[in-house]
Structure formats: structure tokens, C-alpha cells
A and B are shown apart, each in its own frame.
Chain A
């Protein structure tokens, strides 16, 4: 069951943000309170203004204890857009989670993330201002399956009110103010192998674009190590055309 909770944590947090940069692995088994991981991603995109591709490496660290978990990550990117090529860092994201209801088969709680704009906004690697991203999550575990849903709200902090850049940055598109949502399923194939669909998105509040991302995800976990692969399609709003993400995390 611990492994399924681990995977659920990975699923819901990655789905809640719909962004590979925010794939937060949360170890619930208590045996490994600390962890480190890395995600590698590649995507192609074609928006109204830009087309191109990007690749990224996103190191992450996390900590968990009892009902609480926290972590941080930052992406390093190579971005090619409209014929130009850039290398740079994305925004730093720190996040925390509290499980409020932890009675099997239901788990629910609150998660919150804050992005810190250290990347280059003009090049499409940073939002250009902090984003606060709180969300609620709920999980129901069946015999061999788990379903997870999230609902959140993301809001720009200290942003220039007249500078609405639409969905941005290219490597991690979101609106300045939006509702976020996700739904995910996870089926146990073997003790170590799980897979399932993920659907996530954002609904702008005010100016902006709807965003819907569909994905298929497979996760393999054994002992302290867990690895996940996800193929994502941008269904609505041009967040990207297709994106692949491979993540691996090790607990200590």
C-alpha cells in the first residue's frame, strides 16, 4: 500500500500542476524521509507566436514526515524558438503538502507551491514573477486501482498588473490567474509496475487561455527507487504539441 501511496503522491502533484517541472515525488512510507530525484523532459511546441522545442533536466529534493511533505525543484533548459537557441534555468518551485484525511481508502489534503522567478522571462524560461499555487487533492484507493483528483488556484504575486503575458513561460505555460484541475487513474499491473491516464488543465480567470493536457503514465518502483515515464499531449490551448517526461527518485 505504501508504494501505491507513493505513486499517488507523485501522480496527484504532477497532475495538479500539469507541468513536468512540478513533478514532486512524495514518499509516504516513512522509511525514507529524504529523497532526491531528477526529471528529464523533451517537448515540441507551436503557439501563435512561437514554435520550436525544448529539453530540460529538473533536479528535485523532497522531505516527508507523517502527514507532511515538502520539496523543491528547478529546471535547466535548452530552448529553441523561432530559430533562436537558448540555455538557461527555469523558475525555482518550492512546495508543501499536508494530508488532512488519511483513512484508507480515502486520502485528502492540501498542497501548495510557490514559484520563484529566477529564470529569463523574455526567453520563455520564467514566469517573470512569483506564482502561488495552492490546491486541494483527494485520492480513493480501490483494490487494484487508485483515482485522484485535484482542484487548485494559481495567482501571480507582485506582478505588473498591466503586463498580462498570456500563457507563459514556454517551458511551463500557465495563466497569471487561473483555476487548475486534474484527474488521474492508476492501475496496479504488478507489485512494482503501475500505469494510468492523467488529464489536467487550467481555466483562466480574466484574460488567458484554457489549457488541457492528456497523458499516459507508467511508474515502476522497487525499494528506495522509483521511476516514471509520461507521454503528454497538449489537447487545448497549445501548452505544447507533445512532451515526454522521465523521472526517477531515490529515497534515503
Chain B
């Protein structure tokens, strides 16, 4: 019975998304922003499936309302991004991107997904940590709400 319980707990601890624990430096250095990091990262690795224009049937399993083609979409689910793809002091998460990706947004899974480097994943977690603390005025900035 002890072995059974141990196996159960080891299994449970082996593969669950976990927050990286990354904290934005104080004061925010503004070295990582949507314009100089986030936009390119999302376009390279995420928006093949996490794109607001993609209907359910074209998302290759990506959940609705997890759309990263805009900063607004990113800061609506910062925890999920951190827990799925970020590297930090508490966790190195490599759940996303998956193994297979479409070569065109919404297409079939016909190619291997490009994978972020460890440095990119670390920057992702830091950018998310900082971005969630920043003031955003999307409507004032002319960005459409979904």
C-alpha cells in the first residue's frame, strides 16, 4: 500500500504546470515589453493556434480566450503562459509549444513546432511578471477590446 501511495504522489508531482515564481525587478526596468519581445515571441511560437481570429475548429486544441496576437490577450491569461512555457526559480515549464504545429495558422499539424530556448523562456516569465504589474489603457491606446 505504501508503494502504491508513493507511486500515486510521484505521478502527481511529475507533470503538472507550475508557476515559475518569477518576480519583476523593482523598479520595473522596462527591458522586456510587448513591442521588443512579447509580440515576436508570440508570433514565432504561439499564434499558430492561439490567435483570436481562429474559430474553435481551427485551433488545434487551443482553448478559446487564450489568444496571444495582442497584449490584451496576453494579460488576460498571464498565469497560464507562465505555467505552460516559462522558466524561473520554481519551475521550468515546457508544456508549450507542443511537439507538432501547423505551418500556417489554423492549418493541420504538419510540422515540428519551433521550441524557445531556455533564455527565451526565462525572458518570457520575466516579461509576463512585469507586464501584469504595468498599467494598461487599451481603449485609450486605440486597441480594440475582444
Tell me the A residues contacting B by CB distance below 8 Å: 48-51, 81-84, 86, 114, 116-118, 121-123, 128-130, 157-160, 162-163
Contact = CB atoms under 8 A, between A and B. Distances in A.
Contacts of B19: 160, 162-163
B64 A130 contact: no
Nearest to A127: B12
A121 B16 contact: yes
A51 B61 CA distance: 9
Most chain B C-beta atoms within 10 Å of own C-beta, residue among A48, A118, A158:
A158
A19 B66 CA distance: 28
A84 B61 contact: yes
B60 A130 contact: no
B71 interface: no
Most chain A C-beta atoms within 10 Å of own C-beta, residue among B8, B64, B79:
B8
Contact of B16 (A49, A82, A114, A128): A128
A51 to B, nearest CB: 6
Contacts, number: 73
B18 A160 contact: yes
Interface stretch (B32-40, B51-59, B111-119, B122-130): B51-59
Nearest to A51: B56
B57 A82 contact: yes
Contacts of A48: 64-65
Interface string B85-110: 00000000001000000000000010
B56 A130 contact: no
B95 to A, nearest CB: 6
A159 B64 contact: no
A128 B60 contact: no
B15 interface: yes
Interface string B27-51: 0000000000000000000000000
A74 to B, nearest CB: 13
B13 interface: yes
A72 to B, nearest CB: 11
A51 B58 CA distance: 12
B62 A82 contact: yes
A50 B65 CA distance: 10
Nearest to B79: A162
